[in-house]
Amino acid sequence: MHPTSKDKPEDVNAELHARMQALVDRAQQEYPDKPAEGDEWWLPAHLGGKAPTPAEAIELDLRKPEA
């Protein structure tokens, strides 16, 4: 990326987010280790796992009782 002062910050941020998400998705898809049967909690659902989405994770955190 080569943003300039002419670029809107929100556009640069959105492009950066999209590029980073693509890199994370690729790394997850190409990662050689796969979870054992019953141990899919860490793998995103779109890759066949059971990890919560970011929105679901926020909801779960909000439901946690305070320590």
What are the domain boundaries of the chain?
A: 42-67
Is the pLDDT reported for residue 54 higher than 80?
yes
Residue the block writes with tokens 């320590």: 67
Closest of 28, 24, 30 to residue 40, by C-alpha: 28
In whole angstroms, what is the distance from residue 45 CA to residue 8 CA?
A: 33
Mean pLDDT of 3-32: 94
pLDDT of the residue at 67:
61
Q: What is the pTM of this model?
A: 0.61
Closest of 56, 32, 61, 60 to residue 44, by C-alpha: 56
Is the pLDDT reported for residue 13 higher than 70?
yes
Residue the block writes with tokens 């995103």: 44
Is the pLDDT reported for residue 65 higher than 90?
no
